[in-house]
Structure 1
Amino acid sequence: MKYKLEYKYKLKGKEPVSFTSDWLEGEDALFAGEELEKTGKAIEISFSDEIGTSWTIKEMKKLLAEIEEEPHDLTVYFDGGFNRENNHSGLGAIVYYQQGKKKYRLRANQLVEELDTNNEAEYAAFYFALTLLEELNVHHLACEFKGDSQVVLKQLEGEWPCYEETLNSWLDRIEEKIKALGLHPKYTAIDRKENKEADKLATQALEGKSIHSKMQIL
């Protein structure tokens, strides 16, 4: 997650001037705040995240120490595939995240037999991705979801209406899960080339290949 450093700079004989930084990594924002504090010229130093929550320097130190031990900086890719011949659906999802100083990738898929359409498979894939976040004990964090299904992403954003009862049911389930995990989602539509890893996982599920693996990538 990114943070903005906010503070007031004391000017001799004048009112303090307010400053706000660009978005920074947590450690960079904290370092800058501590350096400003040492000068004795900066007052009311605080940090705010992309969600709008604010912290003092002391609170920021504690927050970053806690985050170090938990998954954060989350990006999720999802995709659903549908075989019309047997009504089987393949769900694929990848979670990229950081924990401590290391970065990880969790890849998983699932075969589902009771869905009826490709759109429903896309919704199921999104929900499947949420279960992976739950498995990682992710909660109360910003998370970017990337997929090539404009229908799912636009309807989750509330930009497109949903008239199908089955898909509305999936929307409700997804929104309930997001709320339960305390996530602050960002939805990003990408083309199929950018989503080929999730697409491959969905295809492998349809082929009967079950995958659930986590690896360190950096």
Structure 2
Amino acid sequence: MKYKLEWNYKTGKNEKIQFTSDWISTDLAIQAGEELEKLGKASDIYFYDEVGTSWILKELKKLVTEIEDDPHEITVYFDGGFQKETNTAGLGVVIFFKQGKKKYRIRANEMFNEMETNNEAEYAAFYYALTILEELGVHHLPCEFKGDSQVVLKQLEGEWPCYEDVLNAWLDRIEEKIKSLSLTPKYTPIPRNDNKEADKLATQALEGKEIFAKTQII
């Protein structure tokens, strides 16, 4: 989670000048807030998260303590592979997140039958990622979703229309899941070369190689 600070600077003439920071990490935001308080020249210090909720320093520090053991700062890579001959899809997902002070990566894949197109496989991969987030206990958080399918990401963002009934059904399922988890999604299209790990997992699923691994990033 990133935060933006707003505070008033107190001048010697009892005038106030308002300042706003850039988006910064949780730890840096707390450090900055503590230093502003120590200087004694700042008042009305507020922290705004990425979904628009505001906090004072004491509330933010309490929040961080409460969620320290929950997954946060989540980035999801997804990809779907499709075999037209068998109408089979391979779903690949890579999830990066923090838990406590540690960073983790989950690599997972799954085979899915009765697919009709490659775009449907991409949607299925996205939904598969959401089910993993749900199992991790992720909720009420911003999440960034990265993939090389502009069709899926632009349609989810509402920038491109979707005219196919099958894909609209996946859209509805995804939007319902995102709503039930109270996630704030950010959709980021990336080049295929930047999505190699999820692509490889999708290919391995089509080859019958099932993978689910959680590793700590040192």
TM-score (norm 1): 0.98
Distance in structure 2 (CA, Å) of the matches to 1:205 and 1:161? 30
Aligned to 1:41: 41
Shift of 1:40: 2.1
Which consecutive unaligned segments of at least 5 residues does structure 1 have? none
1:214 maps onto 2:214 in alignment? yes
Shift of 1:141: 0.5
Query: Contact conserved, 1:70 with 1:99, CA < 8 A, in 2?
Result: yes
> Superposition pairs for residues 51-70 of structure 1, below 5 Å?
51-70=51-70
Aligned to 1:163: 163
Aligned residue pairs: how many?
A: 218
Aligned to 2:187: 187
Distance in structure 2 (CA, Å) of the matches to 1:122 and 1:190? 14
Shift of 1:67: 2.7
Distance in structure 1 (CA, Å) of the matches to 2:188 and 2:40? 42
Q: What percentage of aligned pairs have identical amino acids?
A: 69
Measured against aligned partners, the alpha-carbon deviations of 1:30-53 in whole angstroms (never above 9, x if no partner) come to: 111111112222111110112211
Distance in structure 2 (CA, Å) of the matches to 1:153 and 1:22? 26
Which consecutive unaligned segments of at least 5 residues does structure 2 have? none
Distance in structure 2 (CA, Å) of the matches to 1:194 and 1:40? 46
What value does the CA root-mean-square deviation take over the aligned residues? 0.9
Shift of 1:12: 2.0
Query: Contact conserved, 1:7 with 1:20, CA < 8 A, in 2?
Result: yes
Distance in structure 2 (CA, Å) of the matches to 1:154 and 1:39? 46
Aligned to 1:30: 30
Aligned to 1:12: 12
Distance in structure 2 (CA, Å) of the matches to 1:120 and 1:33? 46
SS at match of 2:193: coil
66-75 or 153-162, larger mean C-alpha shift: 66-75
